[in-house]
A and B are shown apart, each in its own frame.
Chain A
Amino acid sequence: MYAQLVKSEGMKAREEMSPEEIAFQERIDRGEKIEPKEWMPEGYRKTLIRQIGQHAHSEIVGQLPEGNWITRAPTLERKAILLAKVQDEAGHGLYLYSAAETLGVSRDELMELLHAGKMKYSSIFNYPTLTWADIGAVGWLVDGAAIMNQVPLQRTSFGPYSRAMIRICKEESFHQRQGYAIMMKMAQGTPEQKRMAQDALNRFWYPALMMFGPSDKDSVHSAQSMAWKIKINTNDELRQKFVDQTVPQAEYLGLTVPDPDLKWNEDKGGYDFSEPDWSEFFEVIAGNGPCNKDRLGARVRAWEDGAWFREGLMAHAEKQAARRAPVAAE
């Protein structure tokens, strides 16, 4: 998802737990929220920093593929909508960075880890947005997949993360709907526009499925995260839910999901579908996707080019504060 392949700790059996760890686990089992200053196992803190940090980075890097089309949106209204959406993503990044900071990591540290390639962001943002229809597909599929993951995370055990998710989910529905509205327009447009919409679906379908992370049988870090309620559903559960929700939406558009094996399965009450190419997924995660270098390069450049501005504002603030301060010891 926005946080894929988050390294967690090995699952501890109850006999191996200290009294504090047992008490902590019982609080989580009772559905209590854990707040920043309360005692928590070091592994819980570390895993959350990785997960929330990765989630935050995804929001910020996720601005790039869509930002690519702001200046070329087909109408002024579409431009204003896309701009608002991309601004929202910056806010989502902020909420999440703030949540991570309550765990004792600084914003600058998180930025440095991202820029050094030591923290990841979602694989999905390493794919290019080639046409305007891609902006529709991103809103519809990528934000759709994000909602699937983020709605259950509103119930996560860590208070600040849960509250950030609640704020984000309130805004996310606008994102998905504006994307689907673009797809409707394109799918009902000229044959060429419809072809563009189909092409966007073809290219984004499998990368969207990859957002949920590897198949459960290969997902090594889930058990402890689920016990701690920082992961609520398994990757495959969410992927299945996403497919079941999205296929009828594609049908409404008159578009074809690019999976010849997609078939309704009456027994399980869901669709059977093909898994994405996992070797591609691991390549993209390893830094070898179509846009990895561009994306990270753009982030590093923005950070470095903005340094004089951040420092300038700070220097100004310090000067103003010194001027206001009462003259000490007359």
Chain B
Amino acid sequence: MSKEWPLWEVFIRGQHGLNHRHVGSLHAPDAEMAIMNARDVYTRRNEGVSIWVVRSSEITASSPSDKGPLFEPSNSKVYRHPTFFDIPEEVGHM
């Protein structure tokens, strides 16, 4: 069996100056071809003005089973949210 092209993750910046956003993945022999293929597949209808590609194997992900311990520390810190503080109505919008 011939060697399979590596997998790339594709990130696109939309028209609106937002962050690049993950849109999907594709196979390509190298980064240049990955960008060309991403252009052909993921920006067929004005979806973007900029493309990033990164080898899927280069991505390190948090482990789903660590979800609890990893995110719990911030869950208990409700004072980080503005709604934690009562501001009298007379003060107006804040």
Q: Is A276 among interface residues, defined by CB-CB distance under 8 A?
A: no
Known: A37-B61, A313-B33. A107 touches B4 (CB 8 A): yes
Decide if B88 is an interface residue (CB 8 Å cutoff).
no
Residue from the list A91, A310, A311 in contact with B44, Cβ < 8 A: A91
- A108 adjacent to B4 (CB under 8 Å): yes
Q: Could you tell me the distance in whole angstroms from the C-beta of B12 to the nearest C-beta in chain A?
A: 12
Q: How far is the CA of A35 from the CA of B61 in the complex (A)?
A: 12
Complex: how many Å from CA A87 to CA B44? 10
CA distance in complex: A106, B25 (Å): 13
A177 to chain B, nearest CB (A): 14
Is A107's CB under 8 angstroms from B3's CB? no
B29 pairs with A316, CB closer than 8 A:
yes
Q: Are A314 and B29 in contact, with the CB atoms below 8 A?
A: yes
In the complex, chain B residues 1-31 whose Cβ is within 8 Å of any chain A Cβ: 1-5, 7, 23-27, 29-30
Number of interface residues of A (CB under 8 A): 30
B49 CB within 8 Å of chain A: no
Residues of chain B within 8 A (CB-CB) of A313 are: 5, 29-30, 33
A95 within 8 A of B: yes
Is residue A54 contacting chain B, with contact meaning CB distance below 8 A? no
User: Complex: how many Å from CA A171 to CA B29?
Assistant: 27
Asked whether A37 and B7 contact (CB < 8 A) given A88-B44, A317-B33, the answer is no
B70 contacts the other chain (CB 8 A): no
Within 8 A of B (CB), among A105-137: 106-108, 112
Q: Which residue of A lies closest to B37 (CB)?
A: A94
Sample 14 A-B pairs with CB under 8 A, ordered by A number.
A39-B64, A87-B40, A95-B24, A98-B24, A98-B25, A101-B25, A107-B4, A108-B4, A164-B24, A171-B45, A313-B33, A314-B2, A316-B30, A317-B30
Interfacial residues, chain A to chain B (CB-CB below 8 A): 35, 37-39, 84, 87-88, 90-91, 94-95, 98, 101, 106-108, 112, 163-164, 167, 171, 307, 310-311, 313-314, 316-317, 320-321
Known contacts A108-B4, A307-B2, then 11 further A-B pairs from the complex at CB < 8 Å, ordered by chain A residue: A37-B64, A91-B41, A98-B24, A98-B26, A101-B7, A107-B4, A164-B24, A167-B23, A314-B3, A316-B29, A316-B30
